[in-house]
Amino acid sequence: MTDKISMEARSANMRAIHSKNMKPEMIVRKLVHRLGYRFRLHRKDLPGKPDLVFPGRHTVIFVHGCFWHQHPNPVCKDARPPKSNTEYWNSKLARNQDRDAKNIASLAAQGWRVLVIWECQTKDEMFLARTLVSFLGQPRTHI
């Protein structure tokens, strides 16, 4: 099966994808803030540079794109691997998954609690809010 767009256009699309401040991450960040939690972003001293870090709670949140991190939920349609250039993509996506597993294990070994929120889960704000409050506990009130 061949790609539907040219190699140059595909390359431009891939270059435009960044690892920070993407729409799913921004949805989570805005909701977390609106719920009353305060956090730090992308701490470089932690494995995997978690998207949101709650130092006082010793918790971190990763917001994973379903395609790039291969969401294991079979219902998620965004996690389907490409049908062209399969050798490259299978290797690339497997490396992403291995790196994620190592980062999460390393954080857990350091005593951090880790939550992974998948891109497709950001579409249901009520589910997301319940998940966040359940994981983070009640927000602290500051006087």
Residue 56 has pLDDT above 70, yes or no: yes
Pairing of strands 113-118, 59-64: parallel
3 vs 77, more confident: 77
Cβ-contact 103, 110 below 8 angstroms: no
| pLDDT reported for residue 20 | 62
**What's the pTM?**
0.84
Say if residues 70 and 93 touch (Cβ distance below 8 Å): yes
Does the pLDDT of residue 99 top 60, yes or no?
A: yes
* Token pair in block for residue 127: 């589910």
Q: Is 20-130 CATH 3.20.20.70?
A: no
Residue extents of the structural domains in the chain: 20-130
Please give the Cα distance from 119 to 141 (Å, whole number): 29
Query: What is the predicted pLDDT for the residue at 12?
Result: 62
Q: Which residues pair with 41 in a beta bridge?
A: 52
Helices marked H in 52-139 — which ranges?
86-109, 125-136
